[in-house]
Chains A and B, each alone.
Chain A
Amino acid sequence: MKEFEYYRAKNLKEALNYSKTFGKNKRFLAGGTDLIVRLKDNLIKEENIIDIQNIEELKGINEVNDEIHIGALTTFSEIIESDLLKKYSPLIVEASKKVGSPQIRNKGTIGGNICNASPAGDSIPPLFCEDAKLFLESSSDSRIVNIEDFFIGPGKTILKDDEILVKIIIKKWKKGESGFFNKLGQRNALTIAIASSCIKIKKSDGRIDDIKIALGSVSPTVVRAKRVENLLKNLKEFNKDELIKICNEVEKEIDPITDVRGSREYRIEVSKYLVFEALNNSLNLRG
């Protein structure tokens, strides 16, 4: 494994100080399920590893009025077991169940998943559907950004060198809201998504009041399918043929690559189907 200097931050202030000192030349160690593999493969050029795992301020799932605050260090296992999230944000729970394996879910964190900025990050499409806000802090400042504005490209975010993601803020689900997350991989466990989709719907009087559709692994970042959302919002009747027609429009919202997991063409076709399946499920589900 590559050689590096290791620092263990006891609290957020200490982590932010290290952050300020080392700037670009550091990596945070959260769950490490990605970082340690990359350290072994000599893909990390930074020389300082700052272990943030013991920082209490980055942990915990809390109810704050009509919001749920998820600490960046929350593991996927903790998300799956959280009664608060099961009740108020079930899409994040469903997506977390699809992450890696039990061992990976015990270690991997939602903050790490976000900051890695992989277009295939399983927790990201539901966060797009929830309009999640990210609370970022530096030693001198703090700011809140919309999750959709956070990603610039694969592995690239707007997080500054001296900043740290502290928590993720989502609004609690309200009455009439439902949703669906689906991920296509080569197998069920331990798989990186070929494509994934997440939708959140708010219905009233049989009409779609509001809908958000997010797609993973089919563009340089996770993307919203806003055009499809608008077509659905205007829909008076939900029949299969009409839905299939609208789902074909997904093609115009994504820009997938061809890689070992699937070709561009396959990803386009499969994305249409994933959105259709999600709609089909959600429209029959509670709401």
Chain B
Amino acid sequence: MKKIKINFILNDTQIIDEVPVNITLLEYLRDYHKLTGTKEGCSKGECGACTVIINNKTYNSCLILIPEIDGKKVLTIEGLSKDDVTPLQNSLIQEGAFQCGFCASGMVMSLTDLLSKNDSPSIEEIRESISGNLCRCTGYKKIVDAVKKISKS
């Protein structure tokens, strides 16, 4: 199998690696870096459990071939904060927004992206921002509430 050189930023660290071309970013994060916070759900781009932020936009990491990542800046749940949880994560915890937690990292990434662009989102905007993240436990209400609680307005 042909390998390709990649050079990119992963959670503020420069990564230079040589990898097979036919693996996804999701597989690379979990298997090569043991960054297992990013979850594998459907692996078809439908559930959002594998959501990461690349160059300030959200993507399903299961739908990105590793060669595509060359030169980019990737942020995963592990890179959100060094020591403590972020205010968003804290609010989600306080609200009891998750039950099984499988969707949590993807939700947090989508909501982090939303709040970085809009610090006072409406309920509609919050719901839209997580429309690509499936949660089968909570019915989304507490997730939306948690975001509303820390939004500026």
Contacts and interface: CB of A to CB of B under 8 A. Distances in A.
A281 to B, nearest CB: 20
Interface residues of B, number: 30
Contacts of B2: 5-6
B59 interface: yes
A36 B24 contact: yes
Interface of B: 1-2, 4, 21-24, 43-46, 48, 51, 57-60, 62-65, 67-68, 110, 128-129, 131-134
**A contact patch SS:** mixed
Q: Name which of A6, A51, A101, A188 has the most chain B CB atoms within 10 A of its CB.
A: A101
Given A1-B22, A5-B2, A189-B131, A104 B68 contact: no
A62 interface: no
Contacts of A40: 43-44
Interface string A84-103: 00000000000000001111
B57 A77 contact: yes
A190 interface: yes
B60 A103 contact: yes
A100 B132 contact: yes
A6 B45 contact: no
Interface string A30-57: 0011001101100000000101010000
Interface string A231-257: 000000000000000000000000000
Contact of B64 (A4, A5, A36): A36
Contacts of A6: 2, 4, 21-22, 65, 67
